[in-house]
């Protein structure tokens, strides 16, 4: 199918802020395409050419895209840069210049969806001597063959700024609407997606034969979407909800999903990014000590001091996420992996088994490790709130975050936040009992002493999972070091947009809007009602806001914006804080 069909749909998506309209546009697009093109279109709409766990990125910077635009249109680098400075968007620059090219090619051809996808794939995998020139030539060829509207999205794609405002839930709804005219198949499709985290492949299978999704199971080297935890403010409420349960130490590190098959090991983050090459000591321990043919298990990795036995906080552990100097950093700051669940073992899917059975299988597997790199998470079966409090206080005294309470009879629930897992975290006088993860949707120019940094704080939002939106909850201006202010301004300035992303619901206007791409953790004194924020806001009623929010730690590179705290969680925390005050 011609790429113009997809580009036309992209243009319609960009022009609307209605999520229902977006679902309709995508559903109509999918219904006009063969299944193979639906698969490629899903990737292109997501701004990628493969699911994140494949680790394949186009990776072209603005300068190289500018060179490709020059090469395709005949305009000078100075002219392109001047127009970019004026418009602030390389896509509209490419669109305008393609409409009035200074040069025309004797050989042009209609672009197909497959041609565009395949070319971006070639750009992504090109490496070695001369690869940069090849990437520019391939992109210039696409732009040369593109109509003005097609050029807009071709130029935006390599730098990750499509400006469509589409999340996975919108695509899942659109697939259901395509066949059923409503969301009735959404849960069915999402269940398959939670097991096989490749939305393009899921779309292909669903379009070709919806019944085929029933046959999808766990596959080694394809990450399963992580189970998520709920929150409760007290041990008493946990026991009331779960009864006898397993309580585990809550570690503040990397959550990892580890896969082994035929002597090969792959490790994925909670964002389903491939991290194998960054964690050599964990790879070696799994490869050499895990006595099984196939396995998928989860654990938390923390950096530690071998001399003192001290576990480092997350902001130090995160420094292990790097592409260069891996071996040196691994020697300086080795990791321990605390395994806490197992999903698959030697051909058997364990996800449907109760936790107590999965725990037995995990203990049998990990207990044979002798390097000290892998351990079972510290856990105890408890029957009373008093026992939970005892373990909680013990964990806190040792510098851990708190604990996780887990239903002994619950299966592993992929991709969902259920009360099968409940977290209980430390609290301080004058603070909420838990931190909150917010997605950055805008930032403020610095004033006064911060003017020199060009950064005065961020506008943060939480995630509304019901309609795939980000709703504001706080302006955060405290807790930043000078180094963090400089770093955030540098990072956020690269993703500035002139208007809020269609998935952002905000009454407040920051100095600069940004794409919701990065997550930070904040602490606050309490959650209050506010007419200025849209979190939980219904009609004329006020929404929810954070009182005295301040950033803690570093940017959470292990979390997607959709992993931010949800609106439902904020409402529950507000009710819980009120309950605690009154009791």
Q: Provide the Cα torsion 324, 558, 255, 416; round to 10°.
A: -150
Task: Tell me the sheet residues that pair with 338.
Answer: 300, 375
User: By the 8 A CB rule, do 164 and 170 touch?
Assistant: no
Alpha-carbon span 45 to 26, nearest angstrom = 9
Structure tokens at 372: 């000290």
Segment (H or E) for 543: strand 543-547
Which residue in the block uniquely carries the two structure tokens 């043919």? 293
- Respond yes or no: is residue 250 known to be catalytic: yes
User: By the 8 A CB rule, do 405 and 422 touch?
Assistant: yes
Alpha-carbon span 350 to 494, nearest angstrom = 43
Find all residues with CB under 8 Å of 188, minimum gap 6, and list them: 210, 213
Nearest to 236 by CA among 18, 387, 428: 387
Task: Tell me the sheet residues that pair with 247.
Answer: 380, 405
User: By the 8 A CB rule, do 39 and 184 touch?
Assistant: no
* Distances 196 to 114, 168, 283 between C-alpha atoms, Å: 23, 14, 23
Catalytic entry in 39, 205, 250, 336: 250
Alpha-carbon span 126 to 434, nearest angstrom = 45
Alpha-carbon span 386 to 401, nearest angstrom = 19
Phi, psi of 272 (to 5 degrees): 65, 30
DSSP string for residues in 429-444: TTS-SS-EEEEEEEEE
- State the Cα angle at 321 between 465 and 159, rounded to 5°: 65
In the 8-state DSSP scheme, what is residue 218?
-
- State the Cα angle at 356 between 352 and 360, rounded to 5°: 100
CB burial readout 344-354, b (16+ within 10 A) else e: bbeeeebbebe
Positions marked catalytic: 250
């Amino acid at each position: 199918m011609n790429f113009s069909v997809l580009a036309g749909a992209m243009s319609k998506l960009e022009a609307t802020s209605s999520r229902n309209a977006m679902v309709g546009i995508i559903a109509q697009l999918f219904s006009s395409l063969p299944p193979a093109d639906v698969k490629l279109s899903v990737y292109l709409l997501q701004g990628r050419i493969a699911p994140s766990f494949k680790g394949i990125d186009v990776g072209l910077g603005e300068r190289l895209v500018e060179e490709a635009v020059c090469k395709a249109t005949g305009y000078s680098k100075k002219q392109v840069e001047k127009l970019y400075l004026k418009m602030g968007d390389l896509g509209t620059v490419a669109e305008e210049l393609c409409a009035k090219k200074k040069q025309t090619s004797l050989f042009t051809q209609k672009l197909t969806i497959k041609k565009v996808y395949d070319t971006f794939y070639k750009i992504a995998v090109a490496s070695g001597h001369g690869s940069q020139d090849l990437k520019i030539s391939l992109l210039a060829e696409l732009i040369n063959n593109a109509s003005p509207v097609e050029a807009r999205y071709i130029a935006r794609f390599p730098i990750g700024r499509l400006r469509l405002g589409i999340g996975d839930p919108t695509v899942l709804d659109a697939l259901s609407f395509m066949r059923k005219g409503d969301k009735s198949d959404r849960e069915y499709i999402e269940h398959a997606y939670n097991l096989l985290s490749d939305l393009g492949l899921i779309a292909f299978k669903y379009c070709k034969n919806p019944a085929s999704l029933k046959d999808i199971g766990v596959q080694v080297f394809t990450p399963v979407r992580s189970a998520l935890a709920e929150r409760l403010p007290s041990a008493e409420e946990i026991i009331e909800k779960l009864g006898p349960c397993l309580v585990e130490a809550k570690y503040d590190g990397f959550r990892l999903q580890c896969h082994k098959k035929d002597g090969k090991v792959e490790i994925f983050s909670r964002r389903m990014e491939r991290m194998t090459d960054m964690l050599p000591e964990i790879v070696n321990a799994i490869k050499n000590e895990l006595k099984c043919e196939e396995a998928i298990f989860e654990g938390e990795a923390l950096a530690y001091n071998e001399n003192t036995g001290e576990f480092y906080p997350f902001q130090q552990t995160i420094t292990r996420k790097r592409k260069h100097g891996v071996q040196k950093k691994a020697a300086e700051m080795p990791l321990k992996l605390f395994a806490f669940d197992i999903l698959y073992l030697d051909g058997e899917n364990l996800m449907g088994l109760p936790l107590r059975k999965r725990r037995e299988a995990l203990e049998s597997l990990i207990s044979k490790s002798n390097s000290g790199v892998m351990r079972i998470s510290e856990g105890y079966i408890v029957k009373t709130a008093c026992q939970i409090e005892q373990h909680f206080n013990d964990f806190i005294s040792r510098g851990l975050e708190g604990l996780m309470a887990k239903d002994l009879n619950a299966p592993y629930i992929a991709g969902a936040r259920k009360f099968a897992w409940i977290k209980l975290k430390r609290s301080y006088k004058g603070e909420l009992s838990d931190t909150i993860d917010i997605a950055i949707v805008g930032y403020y120019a610095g004033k006064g002493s911060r003017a020199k940094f060009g950064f005065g704080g961020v506008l943060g939002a939480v995630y509304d999972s019901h309609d795939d939106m980000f709703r504001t909850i706080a302006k955060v201006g405290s807790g930043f070091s000078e180094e963090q202010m400089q770093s955030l301004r540098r990072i956020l300035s690269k993703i500035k947009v002139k208007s809020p992303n269609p998935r952002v619901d905000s009454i407040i206007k920051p100095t600069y809007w940004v794409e919701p791409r990065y997550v930070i953790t904040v602490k606050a004194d309490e959650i209050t009602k506010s007419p200025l924020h849209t979190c939980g806001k219904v009609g004329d009623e006020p929404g929810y806001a954070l009182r005295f929010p301040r950033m803690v730690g570093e940017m959470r590179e292990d979390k997607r914006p959709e992993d931010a705290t949800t609106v439902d969680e904020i409402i529950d925390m507000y009710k819980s804080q009120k309950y605690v005050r009154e009791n």
